[in-house]
Amino acid sequence: MENLTIYETPELQSPRMILGFTGWMDGGRVSTGTVNYLNEKLAAPKFAEIASPEFYILNFPVSTLPITLLADGERAFVSSISPMEFSAIFRPHTEIEDGVIREVRFQRNEFRYSKSANLVLFLGEEPHIRWTEYCDCIFAVARQLQVQEFYFVGSVASPIPHTRDPRIRASVASEALKERLKQFDIGFADYQGPGSVVNLLAQRSVDEGVEMSNLVLDVPHYPFLDMPTYPKSMLKAISVLSRLLDLDLSLSDLIAAADTTEDRLNEVMGENKEFNELVKKLEEAYDSEEAAGSEELLRRLIDGIDLSGGEGQD
């Protein structure tokens, strides 16, 4: 397969594969963070990779300036976006040192393995194009190593409070796969909207003889706070995977990171009255299991919070 390079064939016994992707469903970096954490914890060496340039748009031509409508009180105004800023999203990362080009780095799609845990770990960036061929590469590795179980870990921003345990919901390609997941306090998703390459993998998994479970966790939706990572949901994901796959891992460092993040958010609650009131409302909705019915209201409340030191401050 021309877009797949396998450097070695690990000696594994029908391993399971855990997948993480940047981009879609990586809120709080739970998807990529989970796989990266396992890669480091298990000292997993790379054994294969997908040739990246074939699956990405590297240059997005902008013939007219895209625009953004911004609200300022009761006024709306148009702000232009630089074509360079827009197209920079798609281009490979380049490093130049004292005039010398040191690196041109494309998207990475790497397979690693752990013999002790009998795991294959895949970390990639969701492809822009040629989804079918991209999936072919993943299934080719699975066939060579006789992988029969896939587990994707992802996350979505949700109106849940940081003071509660993140919920985890699954989607599967077969009704038969649900019974095992129910034993691990995993709910099941209802969703209609844009899909991802993960959905295509799951749909094809039936014909490939692979049992695939997509596990998606909530992360708090606090757009007014800079929270690029959310270790509490990573901790929940890895804890569930450890039980599902009988992994023996010490998670003390991840527990400490989750506690630190929660302590910082609690400090903000103590300093800002509006944020404190919002968290209390989110807790009430979470505890009464009515979050779905009041989600739109909660999102409006979240978007209305001002942490700049205005009226919401004590």
Tokens representing 119? 């795991």
The pLDDT assigned to 142 comes to: 97
Token representation of residue 204: 């094809």
- 16-22 and 119-125 strand pairing: parallel
SS3 for 59?
coil
In the prediction, which pLDDT does 222 show? Answer: 84
Measure the CA angle with vertex 161, ends 157 and 167; round to 5°.
65
pLDDT at 293: 47
Collapsing DSSP states into helix, strand and coil, what is residue 174?
coil
Contacts of 305 (CB under 8 A, 6+ apart): 222, 224, 272, 274, 275, 278, 312
Burial class (CB in 10 A: 0-12, 13-18, 19+), 6: middle
pLDDT at 29: 93
pLDDT attached to residue 295: 57
Q: What residues contact 148, with CB distance under 8 A and at least 6 apart? A: 14, 16, 209, 210, 211
CATH 3.40.50.10900 occupies which residues in the chain? 4-55+107-250
- Cβ neighbour number for residue 310 with a 10 Å cutoff: 9
Amino acid at 240: V
Q: Residue 73, CB half-sphere, CA atoms under 13 Å: how many?
A: 1
| pLDDT at site 147 | 96
Please report, as a single letter, which amino acid is at residue 220: P
SS3 of residue 47 by DSSP: strand
Q: Which CATH class is domain 4-55+107-250?
A: alpha beta
pLDDT tens per residue across all 314 residues of the chain: 789 999 999 999 999 999 999 988 898 999 999 999 999 999 999 999 998 888 998 877 665 555 555 565 555 655 556 666 767 777 888 999 999 999 988 889 999 999 999 999 999 999 999 999 999 999 999 999 999 999 999 999 888 999 999 999 999 988 888 988 988 889 898 888 888 999 999 999 999 999 999 999 999 988 778 788 999 999 999 999 999 999 999 999 999 999 999 999 999 999 999 889 889 989 988 888 654 445 565 566 666 666 554 444 44
